[in-house]
Amino acid sequence: MDDYTVLKVIGEGSFGRALLVQQKSSNQLFAIKEIRLPKSLSDTQNSRKEAVLLAKMKHPNIVAFKESFEAEGHLHIVMEYCDGGDLMQKIKQQRGKLFPEDMILNWFTQMCLGVNHIHKKRVLHRDIKSKNVFLTQNGKVKLGDFGSARLLSNPMAFACTYVGTPYYVPPEIWENLPYNNKSDIWSLGCILYELCTLKHPFQANSWKSLILKICQGSVRPLPSHYSYELQYLVKQMFKRNPSQRPSATTLLSRGSLARLVQKCLPPEIITEYGEQILDETKICKQNTPRKNGMCTSHSILL
Ligand code: ADP
Ligand code: MG
């Protein structure tokens, strides 16, 4: 910790704290997530997973990992600092004023790119929510908080261990079925809905009625000035059956998102992902009928 000067606390949770720090040697700003290490060895190894998984990710739409170290009973994860705060704060700041559609589509495309990256590496985030999406002042969106993320090796193991935020938890989890990549897609759908309405798609006064609403999967339509494309995206991502939900690759290969991919990504990443997404677009064009310009196929990648 000697290499960094703590400037302020930017987040606090059950894990410990998130700090804004300045590296002494370079004057560069970073965020450090300070996690209290549990007493038992197995729990400690579990905490370390967050750093291990984040370190594996390298993408403009995933918060960049710098280093991690342990000191004074804490695990410190040093990562890039996102100076625009988190998406939940941003939504609150709107005070009811709806976001323009092009902004929603731009942010959503960036989130899909981030999710596509982790799914390609067989990592499930398992806690996708607006509070875990970080923003920068120059309009970049980054998926953060890999505290619940797991490598997809034994999916059944996730059925009992999942601890997400109830609003974003998909029907299959309430039904005790395994968490899979499409569960992340459901949660991503919740964020898209929040961006369009500034409200959670599923809200209730009790757990029982919240779970019931989620399992029914029906939501109030988006404000009518938003396009059919947005309405359609939300509908597809809230399919009860996970296999009917589009994958991140499929989402990125369609309509406005496909066009935005070219704008969002630096050239080297386009080269990396271009083929995957282009292939998907080709399959999409060849095999499926179109409805109002939208392809209705579903990817089976991952
Ligand atoms: P928790 O496990 O408690 O949810 P997070 O990693 O989500 O921990 O961090 C908590 C909060 O701290 C976030 O919601 C965000 O507001 C802030 N935060 C965390 N990391 C960063 C970062 N790299 N840049 C900016 N803000 C961050
Ligand atoms: Mg968080």
143 bridge partner residues:
62, 133
Upper half-sphere CA count for residue 263 (Cβ side, 13 Å):
13
Of all atoms in ligand 1, which is nearest to the CA of residue 131?
A: 14
CATH number, position 38: 3.30.200.20
Q: Same domain for 230 and 156? A: yes
If we measure between CA atoms, which residue out of 144, 81, 141 comes closest to residue 265? 141
Q: Same domain for 70 and 96? A: no
Q: Tell me: the pLDDT tens digits for 206-242?
A: 989 999 999 998 899 999 999 999 999 999 999 999 9
Of the residues 27, 45, 80, the one at which a domain ends: 80
Q: Same domain for 157 and 13? A: no
Which range marks the domain in which residue 126 is found?
Answer: 87-293
Rounded to the nearest angstrom, the distance between the alpha carbon of 272 and the centre of ligand 2 is: 29
Q: Tell me: the pLDDT tens digits for 135-183?
A: 999 999 999 999 989 888 765 555 555 666 789 999 998 888 888 999 9
Q: Which residues line ligand 1 (CB under 6 A)?
A: 10-11, 13, 15, 18, 31, 33, 63, 79, 81-82, 85-86, 131-132, 134, 144-145, 147
If we measure between CA atoms, which residue out of 260, 139, 114, 132 comes closest to residue 190? 132
Q: Which two tokens stand for residue 215?
A: 């399992």
Domain count, the chain: 2
Binding-site positions for ATP read 33
Clarify whether 127 is annotated catalytic: yes
Of the residues 59, 80, 101, the one at which a domain ends: 80
Q: Same domain for 206 and 112? A: yes
Domain-embedded: residue 150: yes
Taking residues 12-23, what's their average pLDDT? 90
Domain-embedded: residue 95: yes
CB 37 within 8 A of CB 44: yes
Domain-embedded: residue 302: no
Let me know how long the chain is.
302
Q: Same domain for 14 and 163? A: no
Taking residues 260-283, what's their average pLDDT? 67
